[in-house]
Structure formats: C-alpha cells, structure tokens
Structure 1
Amino acid sequence: MLTNFFKLDGTPTLHEKGAQMPPMSPGDEVSNVLFRGDSWYEPRKQIKGVIFRNCSISNMELVQLTFTQCTFEDCIFIASRFREVEFHKCNFINCNMWKAKFEQCYLDPRTIRLDRRYRVDAANVGVSVYQALLSNYANERQDAFYADADIEFRRWKRYQLSWDIRKKHVDRLPGEWGRLKSLIYDLLAGYGYKPVRLSVVTIIGFLAISVVNHLVIGGDLLVNGERPVHTSLVDSIYYSFSVLTVLGFSSVVPDGAFAKLLTVFEALAAIGWLSIFTSVLVKRFLR
C-alpha cells in the first residue's frame, strides 16, 4: 500500500506527454510510472491482462478505452476523467480515485478494494469515488451496480463521520448517534437493498418477542374466552404475531392489566417497524 495515499512510493519514472507508452501486452507489468499530460493513450485501445502497480494517471482524460482482466494496485487517479471506458474483470486494489469523474463507463464497484487504513486516514477517498460512480450508474441505468455503490457510499460516509468526530468537525454526541443509525441500518437491511435479510431479522425478532410474551404474560392470555392452566407456546406465538402484524385479535386476547399495556406498546412499535419494512420493499423492487 502507498505510504502516502496521494503520492507514489519511491522515485517513479516520468512519462511525459507524447512519449512512447510502456509495453502493454497480456502478462506485462507497468510499474513505478508517473504519467503526465492531458490524455492517456489513444482512443479505441484495448488493454488485456496487464498489471499496473504504483502508477499515477492523475489529472488526465481516459477516453474510449477497454481494460480486460487488468489489475491496478497502489495506483493514483486523482481528478482523472473517465469517458466511455470499460473495465471487464479488472481489480482495483488500494487505488486513490479521489475526485475522479466517470461518464458512460462500465466498472463493477465490487472490484474496488480499499485497505482499512483508508477508512481511518482517508475516508474521503472512498466517499468521492463511490459518489462519482453513483452518478455514472444512474445515467447509464446500471441498477445493480448503483445498489452496490450506494451501499459502499453510505458506509464510507460513516467512516468519514468517524474522522470528522476525531477532528472535532462534528460534535461527538450527534456524530456518534449518526454513526449508530447508519450501522444499524446497514446491518439490518443493507441500507434498504437487502429485503431478504430484513425479512429474516423480522421473523427472528417476532419469534423472540413471542417467547418473551409467553414467559411474561402467558398466564394472562385468554384462549377462546377461557384462561388455560398453561398457555401453550403456539398460542403465545399466534397472539404475538397477531399484535405485531397489526392484524388484530382473534381467539387469543390479553386479560390482565399489564398484558393489555404491553400489547398496546408492542402494537405501536410494530406499526413503526412494519413501515420501515414496507419502505425497504418499495425501495428495492419499485425503484
């Protein structure tokens, strides 16, 4: 990984504008090169199976290029402009794309990997690249890529918030509250893009509440108008799901005062939870 995220390690070879490009045949490696100029390589060029390591292609325009099965490691693309560029089966490992721009590009956001050090010391790099990619995916209607990039963008915003708290750019209490909300939303629903995960969490949560109800108010439930000697767990589950799904009571109802108050609280909480659940489904399937 680069010692300085914004500078190449060692003393790289300068490649001035107009100079002959390094060999880029399948299996070649381009290392320790600092490219200078307005544009990088001629348009319509196809580059396959090349490894780029410790290279800087910053403040340059890359137009109508196709990269296939290439690896970019510890490379710098600060303020570069990618237009009609395609990356197929490529990997970006600890590459700095701060303030890069993407237009009509194809790049799988899952191929971008940044070390944990970026989260701590340069979270703005992750925020910047995924924000730029979101704009590209929205314009190109690449919905699957958009979802993956949006998840990463929100995560890097959370990492950035941690940095802002440490630097006292944000007050600790509201900053930590914002981080906690972001983390919970990520874990429970993948920022709204993981409805199956949220469904599983909902079912497990409702079952857990059913067990609690069985232990706490199981003796205060009426089943078919009668209070049984021992309320079955099935009846407690049936009662709990009736309340939590806001379907109303049927053959199992609360009888004691505490049981009635707890039922009211659970019903109100369930309304809020089901609203969140519905919004996630709408976001994921009706976007």
Structure 2
Amino acid sequence: MLTNLFRLDGTPTTIGQGDPAPAMSPGNVVANVVFVNESWTAPAKKVREVTFRGVAFPKSISRATFTDCSFEDCLFLGTSFSEVEFHGCAFINCNLWKARFEQVYLDPDSIVLEARFKVEAANVGVSVFQALLANFAEERQDEFYMQADIRFRRWKRYQIWADLRRKRLTRFKAWTKWLASITYEGLAGFGYRPVRFFVWTVLLFTAVSCINYKVIGDTVAVNGASVAQASFVDAMFYTFSVLTVLGFSSIVPTGEFSKMITVFEALAAIGWLGIFTSVLVKRFLR
C-alpha cells in the first residue's frame, strides 16, 4: 500500500502528451507511472490482462474497455470515466476520491480497500460509492446499485469516527448514528435483505410471546372463559394476533395491566410492520 494514500511513492515516470505510452499487451505490468495529460492515451481502446501498479491516471478516461486487468495502489483522483467498461477487473487499494462515472460498467465488489482507508480516508469510500450509485441508477444496473448502496452506507458509518475526531459530531450523536447503522444492517441489510428481516420478525414476535406467557398469561380469557394460566400456544397465538394487527380473535386481555401491555405492543407493531413493508418495497419495487 502507498505510504501516502494520495501520492505515489518514489519518483514515478511521467507520461505527457505525445510521449509513448507503456506497452499494454496481455501479461504486461505498468508500474510507477504518472499520466500528466488530461485524457487517457493507450495503445488500444481495449486493454486485456494488464497489471497497473502504482499508476496515477489522468483526469479523463473515455470509450475504453478493460478486461481481466488488475489495478493496485493506483490513483484516480478526480478522474471522470465516460463510456468505460471493466470486466473481471480488480481495484486493490486504489484511491478513487472524487471520481465520476457516466455510462460505466463496473462491479462495485471489485473495489477492495484495506482497513487503513477506514481510519485515514473514509471519505474516499464514501465518494466513490456515492458516484457509482448515480451511475447505476442512470444505467438501471439494479444489482450493482444494491451492492454500491450497501457499501456506501458502510463507508458512511466509518466516516462517523473521522467526523468525531474533527469535532463535526458530538460523541452522543456519533454513537447514535453508528448504532442506528449497525442495527439497520444487522436486521435488514440496509433494506435489501427482506428474508433476514422476516427471520428477525419471527424471532422477536416469539420472544414477545414468551414475555406475554410469563407476565400476562393469567389475565386473559380464552374463548370467553377466564383461565388460571394460558398455554404457551395460546400466548403465542394471542401475541401474533396483536402484533400483526389481526385482532384478538378468541383470546382477549382481562386485567388492566394486560390491556396496557397490549396497547403498547400493538402500537410498536404498527411501526415494525411499516419498516417491514418499506424493506419489501425497496428490495423488489425500486
């Protein structure tokens, strides 16, 4: 990895306008090079199986196709990509800060940034995945959009601690935002994992059933008759009926405390099911 994430190490070779470009045939390695011209100049528009290591790319790359190429410790600072395709490529610890993408095909999972970026330059991850989101939305690349959105939200979470160090956030707000992000990802994968959210819903509702069985199981009426203690099956049926807003059916609360608990559970369930609906809409109807 580069010593300075925004500058190449050593004394790289400078390639200017009119200078011969390095060989880019399959198997070639282009290393320690700075392209100082404004636009990308390559021996061919289609580059295949070339390794770029420690290369600073120009401000504009357009109408090019890269296939099975590897980009390692490269700099794309403010680079504008237009009508560019990356097939089977890998970006390893490349700095794409303020890069822009238009009509670009690039798998967001091909971008790999080590932990050092999270600490020293989380804004790089935020910048690149935010730019990719706009490209994927325009190109209707829905699967890539989902992957980029997940990674964008993760890098926003890493950025929280950088903002805290710079005193842009209070410690309370930083921890609140971090906890909200962790919870949203854990429960629903930032809205893209409805099956995971469904599993959590079943587990949560079952846990509430256990609480109701212990706390208000002796203050409900089953089929109109008071019972000394409702069975766990009855408690679960009662709980799921309330939390799914279906109604009490054949089991109703009789005590004042059980009625209060039921009210709070029903109100909380409305919000929870609203989130569940939004997850389904986000995943399948975007």
Please indicate the TM-score interval, normalised by the length of the shorter structure.
Answer: over 0.9
Q: What are the within-5 Å matches in structure 2 for residues 157-196 of structure 1?
A: 157-196=156-195
- Alpha-carbon distance in 2 for matches of 1:175, 1:261: 35
Q: Name the SS for the 2:158 alignment partner.
A: helix
| Structure 2 partner of 1:87 | 86
Q: TM-score, normalised by structure 2?
A: 0.95
Q: How far apart are residue 64 of structure 1 and its match?
A: 0.8
Q: How far apart are residue 125 of structure 1 and its match?
A: 0.4
- Alpha-carbon distance in 2 for matches of 1:79, 1:268: 49
- State the AA in 2 paired with 1:45: K
- Alpha-carbon distance in 2 for matches of 1:230, 1:209: 17
- Alpha-carbon distance in 2 for matches of 1:221, 1:126: 54
| Structure 2 partner of 1:15 | 15
Q: What are the within-5 Å matches in structure 2 for residues 235-246 of structure 1?
A: 235-246=234-245
Q: Name the SS for the 1:62 alignment partner.
A: strand
| Structure 1 partner of 2:53 | 53
Asked whether the 8 Å contact 2:21–2:42 carries over to 1, the reply is no
| Structure 1 partner of 2:225 | 226
| Structure 1 partner of 2:278 | 279
- Alpha-carbon distance in 2 for matches of 1:3, 1:214: 60
Residue by residue over 1:148-173, the C-alpha shift from the partner in whole angstroms, topping out at 9 and shown as x without a partner, is 11121122112112211111022222
Asked whether the 8 Å contact 1:71–1:92 carries over to 2, the reply is yes
User: Structure 1 vs Structure 2: percent identity of aligned residues?
Assistant: 58
Q: Name the SS for the 1:170 alignment partner.
A: coil
1:36 matched to 2:36: yes
Asked whether the 8 Å contact 1:34–1:56 carries over to 2, the reply is yes
Q: Name the SS for the 1:106 alignment partner.
A: coil
| Structure 1 partner of 2:254 | 255
Asked whether the 8 Å contact 2:27–2:51 carries over to 1, the reply is yes
CA RMSD of aligned residues (A): 1.5
Q: Name the SS for the 2:218 alignment partner.
A: helix
Asked whether the 8 Å contact 1:44–1:64 carries over to 2, the reply is no
- Alpha-carbon distance in 2 for matches of 1:71, 1:198: 37
Q: How far apart are residue 127 of structure 1 and its match?
A: 0.9
Structure 2 portions without partners, runs of 5+: none
- Alpha-carbon distance in 2 for matches of 1:115, 1:255: 59
- Alpha-carbon distance in 1 for matches of 2:12, 2:28: 17
Q: TM-score, normalised by structure 1?
A: 0.95
| Structure 1 partner of 2:120 | 121
How many residues matched?
A: 286
